[in-house]
Structure 1
Amino acid sequence: MKLSLVLILCLFFSVTAVASNFILKSDTTINTFNKDYVYQVKKLQSEITIDGVIDENDWERAQKADKFYRVLPIDTGFAKQPSTMMMAYDDKALYVAQIFYDYIPGDRIMESFRRDFSFGSNDNLLIFFDTFLDQTSGFSFGVSASGAKWDGTMSNGSSISLDWDCKWEIETKHYDDRWVSEMRIPFKSVRYPTGSREWNVNFSRLDLKSDEKSAWAPVPRQFPTASLAYTGRMKFEEPLPKSKMQFSVIPYLLGGAAKDFEAGTSTDYRTDIGFDAKVGISSSMTLDLTYNPDFAQVEVDQQVTNIDRFELFFPEKRQFFLENSDLFSSYGYAHSLTPFFSRRVGLDAPVLAGVRLSGKIGNNWRVGFMNMATEETGENLARNFTVASVQKKIFTRSSLGFIAVNKEYFDVPSDTSMFNRVIGFDYNLASKDNVWDGKFFYHRSFQPDNPDKQYSQGAMLMYKTPHIQLGLFETSVGENYRAEAGYVRRTGYNFIGAEAGYTFVPNKKW
């Protein structure tokens, strides 16, 4: 088993060496629906202090994004309360200033200071960055009126995972007629193409007192303001600095002693050592390493009472698995029928070691490779989990993906074979204007004796306009389909469904 880990590590470093030689051609996908909304980001001439006071000369020089369009309750006209956004940058970070004017009497609505706050319960700003110009993946940062942070990774054109956190600064101040924030986002905290001069961006404001959601680049009301199909563009005055290899390691050493004085037994000593490491091979490729990890600092799951016959789905919160997590978890239907669910790794046995490579190669390819080993326990054999994922962008925003999952058991009897494997492909449809959205996938499992009906297959097609919403859904799962490293609510069923809706605003004054 140790030999296999060494071989896998050698393979990993060989792949990363090749991947690091690929240079992404930046600024080649200028095809966003709102491409005429352009923000010119100027380089700093002096230092900006992150104190919530916008008094530096660079903010005077900065372009003002001060026309926000309503998104809800209707998507026509400008927002009632003015908003102003500004950006600047230096060689190390992006700086953002926000001024949200508030002329409506009453307290500003802020629920708590908790990070990754509830979006609909707080006055807030959200920013969406599409750093690779692919209109499918990116990063989101935000702040509530209380000054609470919001940060997450984006996938599938608008989905945001708030389990991802990074290091950045923010300060918020309140005045009688406005609330103001300043933020500093280090470039090393996000991924972007080498030599990048342009990103896609949008700013979103939720103002609960006026009951309005608005955005700098207009978004139709049937879509979230997080939709990367409707971002504007931000152009840097000079190319961003070339990303240096980033390396961070978090080691731990644990020791303890126990002695039963009443029984008079000898002292039992315990020692443990391990680490987590992250290597930024390039601005778009990341290598994660772990040995004997300690997940004691991971946020606990929310308590849920299960009153049905299906297994509960809990999101992944371990940092090792979070970056580019959609490369592994977006196959099939994420919360009901997916071939790989990272919470299976280490669920019933300690993790011994693992390596994980993920990121982009070129403009249109995303790759992910993971290998994890768990220890043998009194109830379970040692196991190895291997996952490989490749995604190719096609057309404007669609993608085709392939995944292979292998769960192998060690130290089994010589006349016994114990394994579970799944291979499959997914096609994700997303039109340029986001009106059409869909998915088709086919996965097949492999196990000893290979019985029939080891497939899972699904299809979905959605059509959304401001007034009409239509959807078709189909799923078929064989009774012998097994994805032991995945999440499968049930097997042996066929489903066909449809939905239709019509939305209108009855209040004529809008």
Structure 2
Amino acid sequence: MKNSFLFCFLALSFIGYSQKKVLHTKFISDKITIDGNLDEATWQSAAIATDFIMFEPDNGKKIPDNKRTEVRIVYDNDALYIGATMYDENPDKILREITQRDNFGTTDLFGVFINGFNDGQQDFQFFVNAADGQADCITTDTNGEDYSWDAVWNSKAVITKKGWIVEMRIPYAALRFSGEKKQTWGLNFFREIRRDRHKYTWNFIDSKLGTFTQQTGILEGIENIKPPTRLFLLPYSSFYVNANSQEKTIGTLKGGLDLKYGINDAFTLDMILVPDFGQTKFDDKILNLGPFEQQFNENRPFFTEGTDLFSKGNLLYSRRIGGTPSYKLNKNESFAEAPNISLINAFKISGRTKDGLGIGILNAVTKNTPTTIFNNESRALRTELEPLANYSVLVLDQRFRKNSSVAFVNTNVTRNGHFRDGNVTALVWDLNTKKNTYNISGDFKYSYINDTEEKTGINSQLNFSETSGKFRYGLGADITTKNFDNNDLGINFETNYYSIYGNSSYRILNPTKYFNTFNARINMYSQFQKETGKVQSSNISFQINSNNKKNHYFGMGIDANPLETFDYYEPRSADRFVIKPTKIGGFVYLSSNYNNPFAINFNPSFAIFDETGRNSYGFSLGPRYRFSDKLSLNYNFNFLRQNNNKGYVDSVNDDMNATTPNTIVFANRNVITYSNTLSGKYSLNSQMTFNLSIRQYWSYAENKNALSLQQNGRLANFMAYTSNKNSSFHSWNTDLSYSWWFAPGSQVSVLYRNNAAAFERNINKEFGENVTNLLNNEALSHVFSISIRYFIDYNEVKNKF
């Protein structure tokens, strides 16, 4: 009888949790002041959303009564209003670190998730923390949270004797919904009690399922509202002062305009006219000894915001736009001056219909880029580097059954004149079972290049995985032909191979005696050269990640390459390969609880090769200290030493009369890398913040002896080669900035930046002397800039007049 009662109780609890909760709202005509007090009479008569349920770590557990959460929603013709009361028996213990926008920091959090089409596909999420800071993002199950998306809305958070209160006004212009008379929206609320690391939602989110956006509740009662005219203008003016010892100090005044226009209830036009990216974050450049280019993060807001559709098929690497020229220097050529490709303008149209069809169009135009290219042997000159170029992306993404999609993607780069053009077309699919327990995903891509000759290629992959429960697994395979090339607007390093791979994982869904979270995963990957069948990669790895009861994180991993492999990329010559030895490596990762004022990260690693004296080891160490809710500093030191590393350095002619090089030279070398980074912030309040970012980097490769690559892929001593191919690269970057959000969507930014970099063949191993020389280098440049951006909402202007 007792067991039967328990079974019925659990069954009823599960049914209650699995059903979607419904909140009814009401129309108001009274004015609400966003002050965090909830003292208007309207709030008292509004329906209450309560009975929150834990999402992490103890999934499904009810929130304690002394931490209950009560949320109310009302609306008028212009906006949605949310009033939330977060009870807490210890208000003094509420964490409330002040941070800049979209940075949660160490603080309690409240959020509202809204889906105006109630299609389980995309949530607009708005967060307010206990320090009165804001964050917002667009969330999909496929791409997760995109915090580069920013909306303009109002909020206020206030600490009280019983906990804390949040009041929010979200204008309809910040949302997407249909023009129907009666609205039914997807809705969920979120609360994090930071000191416990407990996360709760109003509608239960079952962590056993591989979806988040489809487990929302329902908001009903909104009637007779119309999607507003979404027209936003963002004019800006910037002033830059550039100085270094080699050139005269120059002052530059810039101005421009960003525009956002809602074409209809679903689609938005974003446009930049006279772009200015002078205050974007600096690139973390490294000493790149490998055969592939370094891939950089995209830091330009236009190209990072709302890129869910454009990421389909992984065909867009937006740093290509206004980035490195398509023209590649020959071995005997050099630039008279470093090229700089400028973006003229860009626009994108994106959105999704109520039937689930997503449409994305991106177009950008870059200027003709003249420069001087010397032929170092004949001293002949070339002056045309990069012509006027047009970059475009088209995405058609049809979603169905709320959890699956099929997409068509096309990227195209057309360059004026005789320069190279590139086009890539893809079909991409992501299919889930109705209960989100299994997934089949993949794509088929076709590339066409029109250069000195026409080339076509294919890339395709297929994956199957179980996506629910404690035990999960996945299997997959892919193939890429020799001439597949998406590098005009994408980035791809390896071609002419096929691979197979698999993984299996175990996770706990609820806390145990020792762990809040625990995940163990094993991965296997094998890659084969398509024409010869030789093994290019063979890897097996095992990894554990966990979080204990005191919220300290621990991870470890073992990584092995059990077979000799054939590397066709490092020789930098067609149809040549070098044999790489077997190896085994591992790492440990420790991270203490960031809730504590002092916390630290420690990550040692090692690798041992089946080759005498060849090994590598290193570590990263990252202490951080929060002096107060306003001031914090984070420091990180990285060190890596690679002993007897083997890598390409040159190619030479055996016969001085030969027209092509026929000896590929490798070096047996030690590679040592150091980097120091320091970041900090001082927040006057949630609208004003000073930020500091410093990075010092030094890496050098000291060659011990030269090796020649044999036709069988082995390396032999090459005593005749005596050229100095040592490499030493140091760089320094400093950003000191002040940011003031003086009005919703409007910002003043002041930035001081200095940076320098140097590459040398002669290695000076005095660390301090290297840093001093770099800071005293004539190439050290200084930039001071002020930028003012002002947000103009057409609706606000219309209402005033």
Q: TM-score range by the shorter chain?
A: 0.7 to 0.9
**Does 154-163 or 39-48 show the bigger shift?**
154-163
What is the match of residue 363 of structure 1?
355
Q: Which has the larger radius of gyration?
A: 2
In terms of mean alpha carbon deviation, does 492-501 or 65-74 score higher?
492-501
Q: Does 1:291 align with 2:267?
A: no
Further displaced range: 274-283 or 140-149: 274-283
Aligned pair 1:475/2:478, yes or no?
yes
Q: 8 Å contact 2:59–2:207 — kept in the other structure?
A: yes
Give the Cα–Cα distance (whole angstroms) in 1 for the partners of residues 420 and 231 of structure 2. 39
- Name the counterpart of 1:486: 490
The reply to whether residue 202 of structure 1 matches residue 188 of structure 2 is yes
CA displacement, residues 368-410 of structure 1 (integer Å, 9 cap, x when unaligned): 1222110011232221112111111223321110011111111
Which residue is 1:54 aligned to? 38
| Structure 1, unpaired ranges of 5+ | 1-32, 332-337
Name the structure 1 match of 2:121. Answer: 136
Give per-residue Cα distances to partners, 1:244-279, cap 9 Å, x unaligned: 252525265889999xxx99xxxx998866433222
What's the TM-score once normalised by structure 1's chain length? Answer: 0.80
Aligned residue type for 2:186 = N
| Relative contact order, higher structure (CA 8 A, sep 6+) | 1
Match of 1:389 in 2: 395
Q: Judging changes above 3 Å, is the alpha-carbon distance between structure 1 residues 206 and 272 closer, same or farther for their aligned structure 2 residues? A: closer
- 1:7 alignment counterpart: none
CA–CA separation in structure 2 for the residues paired with 1:136 and 1:157: 9
Contact persistence 2:235–2:257 (CA under 8 A):
yes
TM-superposed deviation, 1:295: 2.2
Q: Deviations over 1:64-107 (max 9, x none)?
A: 11100122222233012211111111111111112111125862
State the partner residue of 1:4: none
- Residue 174 of structure 2 is aligned to residue 189 of structure 1: yes
Q: Decide which of 429, 433, 436 is 1:434's aligned counterpart.
A: 436
Which residue is 1:280 aligned to?
A: 262
What do residues 289-308 of structure 1 show as CA deviations (whole Å, max 9, x unaligned)?
A: 333322235x4257476888
Q: Distance in 1 between matches of 2:25 and 2:469?
A: 33
- Contact 2:53/2:201 (CA < 8 Å) preserved in 1? yes
1:29-68, Cα deviation, whole Å (9 max, x unpaired): xxxx956311112112311110111111111111111100
Task: Report the counterpart of residue 15 of structure 1 in structure 2.
Answer: none
Query: Counterpart amino acid of 2:394?
Result: A
- Equivalent in the alignment of 2:557: none
Counterpart residue type for residue 329 of structure 1? S
1:148-187 equivalences in 2 (<5 Å): 148-156=133-141, 159-187=144-172
Give the alignment's TM-score, normalised by structure 2.
0.53
Q: Amino acid of the residue matched to residue 467 of structure 1?
A: K
> In the aligned structure 1, how far is the partner of 2:364 from the partner of 2:281?
22
Asked if 1 retains the 8 angstrom alpha-carbon contact of 2:184 and 2:222, the reply is: no
Match of 2:572 in 1: none
Q: How many angstroms apart in 2 are the aligned matches of 1:236 and 1:138?
A: 19
Q: What pairs with 1:280-359 in structure 2 (closer than 5 Å)?
A: 280-297=262-279, 299-300=280-281, 303=284, 309=290, 313-322=295-304, 324-331=306-313, 338-348=314-324, 349-359=341-351
For residue 400 of structure 2, what is the amino acid of its counterpart?
Answer: I
> CA deviation digits over 1:288-345, x for unaligned, max 9?
2333322235x425747688846555554444345542111132xxxxxx21122321
2: distance between equivalents of 1:100 and 1:307? 51
Q: State the 1:178 CA deviation.
A: 0.5
| Correspondent of 2:228 among 243, 247, 267 | 243
Work out whether residues 462 and 476 of structure 2, in 8 Å CA contact, stay in contact via their aligned partners in 1: yes
Residue 496 (str. 1) matches residue 500 (str. 2) = yes
Q: Extract unaligned runs of 5+ from structure 2.
A: 1-16, 325-340, 372-384, 517-801
In the TM superposition, residue 462 of structure 1 has moved relative to its aligned partner by 3.0
In the TM superposition, what whole-angstrom CA distance separates every residue of 1:471-497 from its partner, at most 9, and x where no partner exists?
Answer: 223333333221120132433443322
**Counterpart secondary structure, 1:488:** coil
Aligned length: 458
For the Cα contact (< 8 Å) 2:75–2:222, is it kept in 1?
A: no
Contact 2:94–2:195 under 8 Å retained in 1: yes
2:51 is matched with which residue: 46, 61, 67?
67
The answer (yes or no) to whether the contact 1:113–1:147 under 8 Å persists in 2 is: no
Any conservation in 2 of the 1:135–1:157 contact (CA below 8 Å)? no
Q: Does the C-alpha gap of structure 1 residues 152 and 315 become closer, same or farther in structure 2, counting only changes over 3 Å?
A: farther
- Counterpart of 2:410 in structure 1: which amino acid? A
1:400 and 2:376 are equivalent in the alignment:
no
Q: What do the CA deviations read for 1:167-186 (whole angstroms, capped 9, x no partner)?
A: 11111111233111111111
d(CA) in 1 for partners of 2:257 and 2:166? 36
CA distance 1:346–1:180, change in 2 (3 Å)? same
CA displacement at 1:362 relative to structure 2: 4.5
* Structure 1 residue 210, shift from structure 2 partner: 3.4
Please say which of residues 239-248 and 129-138 is displaced more in the overlay.
Answer: 239-248
Whether the 8 Å CA contact 1:86–1:98 is kept in 2: the answer is: yes
For the structure 1 residues 431 and 343, does the alpha-carbon distance in structure 2 shift closer, same or farther, using more than 3 Å as the test? farther
SS at match of 1:328: helix
Shift of the 272–142 alpha-carbon distance from structure 1 to 2, 3 Å rule, reads: closer
Aligned partner of residue 54 in structure 1, secondary structure: coil
User: Partners of 1:257 and 1:508 in 2: how far apart?
Assistant: 56
Say whether the 8 Å CA contact 2:141–2:213 is kept in structure 1: no
Task: Name whichever structure is richer in strand by fraction.
Answer: 2
Contact 2:368 2:386 in 1 (8 A): yes
Q: 1:96 to 1:426 in 2, by over 3 A?
A: same
Q: 2:192 is paired with a residue of what secondary structure?
A: strand
Q: How far apart, CA to CA, are the structure 2 residues paired with 1:312 and 1:202?
A: 41
Q: Could you say what the CA RMSD is over the residues aligned between the two structures, in angstroms? A: 3.3
| Pairing partner for 1:424 from 418, 423, 426 | 426
Q: Which secondary structure does the structure 1 equivalent of 2:48 belong to?
A: coil
Bigger shift: residues 213-222 or 33-42: 33-42
Question: What SS class does the counterpart of residue 223 from structure 2 fall into?
Answer: coil
Contact 1:420/1:447 (<8 A) preserved: yes
- CA shift, 1:222, in A, is 4.2
CA–CA distance in 2 between the matches of 1:308 and 1:193? 53
Counterpart residue type for residue 436 of structure 1: Y
Residue 180 of structure 1 aligns to a residue whose secondary structure is strand
Verify the 8 A CA contact 1:220 1:466 in the aligned structure 2: no
For residue 221 of structure 1, the aligned residue among 207, 212, 222 is 207
- What is the CA distance between 1:109 and its match in structure 2? 2.5
Q: 1:146 to 1:85 in 2, by over 3 A?
A: same
Does residue 446 of the first structure (1) align with residue 456 of the second (2)? Answer: no
Listed as ranges, the matches of 1:113-124 within 5 Å are 113-118=99-104, 121-124=106-109
Distance 2:146 2:23 in 1: 26
Instruction: Assess, with a 3 A threshold, how the Cα gap between structure 1 residues 398 and 240 changes in structure 2: closer, same or farther.
Output: same
Conservation of the 8 A alpha-carbon contact between 2:448 and 2:454: yes
Q: Indicate the residue corresponding to 1:16 in structure 2.
A: none
